[in-house]
Amino acid sequence: MGEMGEPFRMVESSVADVLGGLGSFALVVNDPPWSGLAGSLPPPASVVEAWNMDLAHLEAVAAGEPEGDVVVGLGGGTAMDTAKFLAWKSGRPLVQIPSITSVDAGFTDAVGVRVGGNVTYVGKVRPETVVLDVDLVRSAPAHLNRAGIGDILSCAVGLHDWRLAAARGAGHPWDEPLAQLGERLLADLSSARDEIAAVSAEGVRFLAGSYREIGAACAAAGHSRFEEGSEHFWAYAYEWLTGAHPVHGEIISFGVIVMSFLQGNDPDRWREIVADCAVRAHPGDIGISRGDFGRTFSELKSYVRRQDLDHSIIDEIALDQDAVDGAWEHVSCLPRQGGQA
Ligand SMILES: [Zn+2]
């Protein structure tokens, strides 16, 4: 990859085979899949259940010094992030085994934690290996795997925001190779939509492979401007305001549909990809009410400045009643996918 950074080593293997070769390891898990797998895996030196990303909680877990020469994350986003924190804090090697493709956390080096309800990055750690167990991933609920498009589709809004910011000389300067990577991933995503909707082995490999490239590019660049923009900022503001934490890739897909509309950035194209991948992003599927939608927009401009988030469309246009009504109507035209709400 050269200038794009060296991607994390990724192997396709079964969890049992990988853990069997590690010796002594601290296993950081989500449940599911943990209790369904525990009986068929080599016993860990210690097990840490991941659920709380607050810095104070993570510091307490690390202070308990869970035993094991290697830290292994097994599960979804909180397992990956908690494992990163423990490996970073203790200087032990890290192996990541994502059990779903709903988030890119297994493929990024940034150690993200929550402080006062907001995500903060405290350090960096590079996994020795990311293990892709295709059968394990495919056994997870289909909607969680499909949600994996969120952190790829976010390139659509992120690139547009970055272009706006770079034109004003705000933040990281434009980087054409990074932008081209984002454009290619979006084109590939568009081609992979049937595989993703079906959660086929090819669909799973596409999502994991894309995360791997994005993770390497972000690590090399030292920022994630090309894949994180106002769609993430909207989601952060919504989560801060409501205390709700929808599936990350689902709320990010929602955010892409909403913010691309406000950007005037080919909004029908991105909504169609979300629909064809059968991703839950309709507000009714992910529990976003019209009231909370409006309240988030009322707070959004002050939120992004207070959090010192990158310059984006949020700083450039009026977020008035017309804009918010139009965005709500646009995202409400997405087909329902049978979500919980
Ligand atoms: Zn994300």
Find the CATH number of the domain harbouring 52: 3.40.50.1970
Shared domain for 21 and 113, answered yes or no, is: yes
Structure tokens, 288? 């976003």
Specify if 52 maps to a domain: yes
Specify if 339 maps to a domain: no
- Give the number of C-alpha atoms closer than 13 A to the C-alpha of residue 211, restricted to the C-beta side: 30
Instruction: Give percent of the chain with pLDDT exceeding 90.
Output: 89
Residue at which a domain ends, from 103, 138, 173: 138
Is the pLDDT reported for residue 45 higher than 90? yes
Ligand 1 centre to CA of 21 (Å) is 31
Region 235-242: what's the mean pLDDT? 96
Ligand 1 centre to CA of 37 (Å) is 27
Distances (CA, A) of 300 to 9, 83, 235, 237, 238: 38, 31, 10, 6, 9
Ligand 1 centre to CA of 309 (Å) is 14
Ligand 1 centre to CA of 85 (Å) is 17
Ligand 1 centre to CA of 220 (Å) is 18
Residue at which a domain ends, from 104, 138, 172: 138
Ligand 1 centre to CA of 246 (Å) is 12
Specify if 89 maps to a domain: yes
Ligand 1 centre to CA of 90 (Å) is 26
Is the pLDDT reported for residue 4 higher than 70? no
Shared domain for 133 and 147, answered yes or no, is: no
pLDDT at 62: 97
Ligand 1 centre to CA of 260 (Å) is 16
Shared domain for 66 and 193, answered yes or no, is: no
Ligand 1 centre to CA of 153 (Å) is 10
Predicted confidence band at 117 (pLDDT cuts at 50, 70, 90)?
confident
Ligand 1 centre to CA of 233 (Å) is 10
Shared domain for 152 and 107, answered yes or no, is: no
Spatial distance between the Cα atoms of 161 and 319, rounded to a whole number of angstroms? 16
Number of domains present in the structure of the chain: 2
pLDDT at 19: 96
Ligand 1 centre to CA of 232 (Å) is 7
Specify if 75 maps to a domain: yes
Ligand 1 centre to CA of 257 (Å) is 15
Shared domain for 170 and 203, answered yes or no, is: yes
Ligand 1 centre to CA of 235 (Å) is 9
Structure tokens, 71? 């830290």
Shared domain for 126 and 160, answered yes or no, is: no
Structural domain of 48: 2-138
Is the pLDDT reported for residue 160 higher than 60? yes
Ligand 1 centre to CA of 251 (Å) is 9
Ligand 1 centre to CA of 160 (Å) is 16
Shared domain for 149 and 133, answered yes or no, is: no
Spatial distance between the Cα atoms of 238 and 157, rounded to a whole number of angstroms? 17
Residue at which a domain ends, from 138, 164, 188: 138
Shared domain for 147 and 280, answered yes or no, is: yes
Shared domain for 26 and 73, answered yes or no, is: yes
Specify if 283 maps to a domain: yes
Predicted confidence band at 287 (pLDDT cuts at 50, 70, 90)?
very high
CATH number of the CATH domain containing 219:
1.20.1090.10
Specify if 341 maps to a domain: no
pLDDT at 1: 38
Spatial distance between the Cα atoms of 97 and 101, rounded to a whole number of angstroms? 11
pTM of the model: 0.91
Do 153 and 252 contact (CB within 8 A), yes or no? yes
Specify if 337 maps to a domain: no
Shared domain for 131 and 174, answered yes or no, is: no
Predicted confidence band at 2 (pLDDT cuts at 50, 70, 90)?
very low
pLDDT at 281: 98
Place of tokens 């995360």: 211
Shared domain for 196 and 327, answered yes or no, is: yes
Predicted confidence band at 102 (pLDDT cuts at 50, 70, 90)?
confident
Closest CA to 99 of 76, 83, 80: 76
Ligand 1 centre to CA of 43 (Å) is 32
Shared domain for 154 and 185, answered yes or no, is: yes
**HEC string for 231-273:** HHHHHHHHHHHHCCCCCHHHHHHHHHHHHHHHHCCCHHHHHHH
Specify if 84 maps to a domain: yes
Is the pLDDT reported for residue 298 higher than 80? yes
Do 250 and 150 contact (CB within 8 A), yes or no? yes
Ligand 1 centre to CA of 103 (Å) is 7
Ligand 1 centre to CA of 150 (Å) is 7
